[in-house]
Structure 1
Amino acid sequence: MIRVRAFAAAAEAVGAPELDIAAASVGDLRAALGARGESAPRVIAQCAVLRAGERLEDSAPLNSGDLVDVLPPFAGG
């Protein structure tokens, strides 16, 4: 299981700030999260997925016990 911390709009879209998801890759994780709510596919597709502060591509493998952060785009200044 992958421990997922979702922030801001991502947490709202998937219905929880923290989840445990079975996924072999970031792409699998996006698919699982996208199935969790009406707006989830659109929101999750725009999010960055990070492990230990490093942004991951959809093809990146995930390992049981990984902790990933799902961060929606945001603007600041």
Structure 2
Amino acid sequence: MATGKVRYWAAAKEAAGVAEEPFEAATLGELMTNITRDRAELARVVSRSSFLVDGSPVGKRPHDAVVLSEGATVEVLPPFAGG
């Protein structure tokens, strides 16, 4: 199990109510479950978001396959509108 921080951007930040928070999770999938528990609006935003783990895009990899390292930074990037 790794510890680190999750950073929220734009609508994710608004839904979470904080810009960042610490986490404890082994995989990105576990982290997503943990941060969205009892936070319906954040769960809605996260379901449409993309993620960076230590600056690297997760892309279409299954979240349960993305192992988090100790001290990792996970960034939650909701879709951005505009052009």
**Within the alignment, does 1:76 sit opposite 2:82 as a pair?**
yes
* Structure of higher CA gyration radius: 2
| 1:1-77 correspondence runs (5 A) | 1-35=3-37, 37-56=39-58, 57=61, 58=63, 59-77=65-83
Segments of 5+ residues of structure 1 without an aligned counterpart are: none
Give the fraction of aligned pairs with identical amino acids, expressed as a percent.
36
Query: In structure 2, how many angstroms separate the alpha carbons of the residues matched to 1:11 and 1:33?
Result: 12
Query: In structure 2, how many angstroms separate the alpha carbons of the residues matched to 1:36 and 1:48?
Result: 21
RMSD of equivalent CA atoms: 1.4
Segments of 5+ residues of structure 2 without an aligned counterpart are: none
8 Å CA contact retained: 2:54, 2:72: no
**What TM-score, normalized to structure 2?**
0.81
Normalized per residue, the structure richer in strand is 2
State how many pairs are aligned.
77
